[in-house]
Amino acid sequence: MPLIESFFPVFDMSMNRRALFHTAGLGIGAMALNCLLKQDQVWGSPSSVKNTQMPHFKPTAKSVIFLFMSGGPGHVDTWDPKPRLSKMDGEYVPASIVANVPNIPRSGVHSKLMASPFRFNRHGQSGIEVSDLMPHTARHVDDICVFRSLNHRIPVHGPGECITLTGSGLGDRPSMGAWVTYGLGSPAQNLPGFVMLSSNENGPAPQRPGWASGFLPARYQGTVLDAQQGIPYSEMPQLYSEIDRRQQLEFIHWMNQQHLEQQAQNSELQARIESYELGFRMQMEAPDVLDLSSESAETQQNYGIHEKATAAFGRQCLLARRLVEQGVRFIQLRNGGWDAHGSLKSNHIARCKATDQPVAALLDDLKQRGMLDDTLVVWGGEFGRTPTTEGTRTGDARGRDHSPAGYTMWLAGGGIEGGQVIGATDELGFVPVERPLSPHDLHATILHTLGIDQHQLIYPHNNRQEIPTVLGGEVIQEALKSG
């Protein structure tokens, strides 16, 4: 029997105040002793602390950094060049293309085509074409595998974000980060295994299912961390010592356990109990991880954290690298504002100015430290943008509508074979015509790099054996390094 429970075998909720203080006073000394005995151990019973689990097979990645571009970057303006689109600027979609390319969205057929306002150039030994919006990231094309044929059927931001991050547009399933920490646990003892880095931004509101646990136990949900302000309330209050806080937490834990024993399955309460302990450990370690002053001036300059345009996302990217170093398993970074229904040119210039340098610095930093080999980096949004204009705007005021029917994402590191393009959209960029890929295929591939077989990672829910990819996805084998 735990030491504290030997002093409190039964907690009588009807006792008067004097009896409560008398009984609680006896326990303070016991809690202090219990703290000292356990000071060098991971606190909690085996049922409340999920340690690192064994993968199903040898992984090529230990951690994932998901660079989520909320709002929908225009694929034909960034990673999917369309020369014919440039020649047909301002024209309606030809009937011949409508007839020969199946599944073109009807909404786009009666709109005018819009040439990309940006040039594409070949980069690296692979010669992959990248928009001049991304000169820094373009230096890394030989480490990047570009998927130009992703598609789904959800044209709305919120559900589109959900299908990209959870596999379902309904928002009722666990996020990919929750599945990963459920399947593998986390080697990070004093930090969450799954972190979502947020910042103030314009555009569609963040969808909580993207970092939530869904029907998995609540302990697997992501911890939201503000890249500028850190973790709310994680600093130790003044005049409090580590021993003071441990005594307080031991008593709170004991009382919560009594309440939990009266409940049926209550993962929210269990997660709250565990969060007190995690919060305590984070008070010891998180301030050091979030303090970027220990980074060299050169590193901070590379990420652009002192420049207005790149400061917010640069800080997120640098923190992501530091979190990976501490063993955090899954990190989701969010950059919003890509929803360019009008003024696409100025919108994408601003978005890429904010993100291109930090993303390239992250890839540089991981590679120089030997971490890119076992860190998977994912870039992309909930969908792309149509090859046609929206509305009657002209000139630089033109924008594009949502395009879930065809869009681009890319992966790098973590066992991914870079310097290649997989899949293709038609000559105008409407829909995939070669190697169509779904979000489930992307998720299956991410899990595979981590050593997880999507069909073996199972959670029983509502009399179903649920897997992370809903009904299953196809691992994109050609994206993986051989051997």
According to DSSP, residue 208 is labeled G
CA distances from 11 to 5, 20, 256, 260 (A): 10, 9, 11, 13
Please choose, from the candidates 320, 323, 313, 331, the residue with its C-alpha nearest in 3D space to the C-alpha of residue 228: 313
Q: Which amino acid is at 365?
A: D
The tens-digit pLDDT sequence of the chain (483 residues) is: 443 444 344 445 555 655 555 555 445 444 443 443 343 333 333 333 344 578 999 999 999 999 999 999 999 999 999 999 999 999 999 888 888 787 787 666 678 999 999 999 999 999 999 999 999 999 999 999 999 999 999 999 999 999 999 999 999 999 999 999 999 998 887 888 999 997 656 667 889 999 999 999 988 999 888 877 666 555 666 766 767 766 766 776 676 666 666 665 555 655 555 554 555 455 556 667 888 999 999 999 999 999 999 999 999 999 999 999 999 999 999 999 999 999 999 999 999 999 999 999 999 999 999 999 999 999 999 999 999 998 888 999 999 999 999 999 999 999 999 999 999 999 999 999 999 999 999 999 999 999 999 999 999 999 999 999 999 999 999 999 996
Determine the 3-state secondary structure of 399 from DSSP. coil
Q: Classify the phi-psi angles of 327: left when phi > 0, otherwise alpha if psi is within -120 to 50, otherwise beta.
A: left
Query: Which residues have CB under 8 Å from 89's CB, separation 6+?
Result: 113, 114, 115
CB-CB contact of 317 with 324 (8 Å):
no
Domain 63-236+292-479 falls in which CATH fold? Alkaline Phosphatase, subunit A (3.40.720)
| Overall size of the chain counted in residues | 483
Q: How many helices (H) and strands (E) does the chain have?
A: 15, 16
Alpha-carbon gap, residue 358 to 377, rounded angstroms:
13
Return the domain boundaries, the chain: 1-34, 63-236+292-479
